[in-house]
Structure 1
Amino acid sequence: MIRLHGLTKKYGGLAVVDNVSLAFPTGGITSLIGANGAGKSTLLHMASRLVTPDTGRVELDGRDIRSLDSMRVARHLAILRQANTITARLRVRELVEFGRYPYSRGRLTGEDREAVALAMHQMNLEPLAGRFLEQLSGGERQRAFVAMVLAQETDYLLLDEPLNNLDLKHSVDMMNALRKVAGELDRTVLIVVHDINIASAYSDRIVAMKDGRVVADGAPDDVVNPEQLAEIYGIDAEVHDIDGMRLAMYYR
């Protein structure tokens, strides 16, 4: 379990995350939603130890994450940032193999190669395995980075806007892959996502933030409603139940 205790982070005196406490039990997909600047990415980065909170603490399986060895953290928690920059000239397969470093230290075993092959299959990357990253489109690169995180085979996956640059088909494919990881492998997936309907259709839980604070937390049916969406985004939205999913119409 990941527990966040009273996390606060300020930049220039402004609290971008303001006294947030949350718990993420094992399994399922939790989507963090909210307007730009709501604090979603900063909260995710504090949960993964990339950003140090000004106050509060993060516990990973009952222990303060700051007290844990980096390699131990990397075997239990994987993070995908919103912006990923690689200066080395790497092929797709080589990038995905980096996900196995916490286990192999660069010397891949048969088990490591199986994990890499599975992650590449999940992201439909086999045809691109030998291509260099700079030869890929933005969406193809994004899928490669997500495959690297999947290959890490951690208990917790924290993904900051994993649908960036993806077309509709690949967005659906990725969410189905994450749904499978969360359901069949009982892993905890925490994602920052902007599409309300993607969050509603694929998540077990939605946490909505505004001005650095949590303003809604619950199942999609509890969060995706006109009143909550008006508070979170300041929009008027119609909400409909279609094939067991609660979907919002706000393009007007």
Structure 2
Amino acid sequence: MRKRIAAPQARRLGLIVSTVAAALAVLLYPAGTASAAVTPGGMISNSYSISGAPADGLKKLAFPLKVISQPNAPGYYWAQQYYFKSGQVGYIGLQPRTDSGIAIFSVFGSGTSTSHPNCRTGADGGSGTSCSVTYPYVKGRWYQLEIIQTGTNNWTGYVVDTSTNVWTTIGSWNVSSSAGLLRPSGVGFVEYFKSVADCGSIPYGQAVFGKPFVSPEPGTGTNTSAYAYGPCKANASYTLSGGEVTMTSGG
């Protein structure tokens, strides 16, 4: 499994397990027999851009996110991707859990390292670095997912509760000097990574992806477009208004 770059693909912790399960399902349900379970994967993607950004790239990106509805169980991943000038990519986002939630901050590719206790080597079965922290986010509340340069080649991911202004560190890692700063555009996504009986069995989920921003650096961010994709795209929809994207899936 490899990272999402141009066309959004399913990405999250536990992808390898789902892939193996899907392979076994092909053996158990050959063509002409009863259909197997489906893994929806990516369902909706958004594109964002920052106008007026510095030519050499950004030292910060902040992504507002409000989860309105989701099951209190693993399955959904609400995330935004960011790209370094070299093309190296990472993502930052939130996932529900049975009694809480987690915040994730990852980078893909070679030349990364970390000494942060929330982080480990490897990303979705490939090279890179992944960080995560238990984070009991509240439905209906705005959060900011922030990636900030905190050293020459060091980047730190945070989740900010906008109602209390409490910052929580997700993790921190280093990239090679060739990575450069951040590009002023990218994509985000919502996916459902657990297997379900069929697309109609996906639990209901809805979230709003706000306009990204880079303050105090110059630049104005907005979401420019969105689209549904994947095997269960008929069970996904979105609205784009005022630079914000509301993503609705399942139900």
TM-score range, shorter chain: under 0.3
- The structure whose RCO (Cα within 8 Å, separation 6+) is larger is 2
Give TM-score, length-normalised by structure 2.
Answer: 0.28
Name the structure where helix makes up a greater proportion of residues.
1
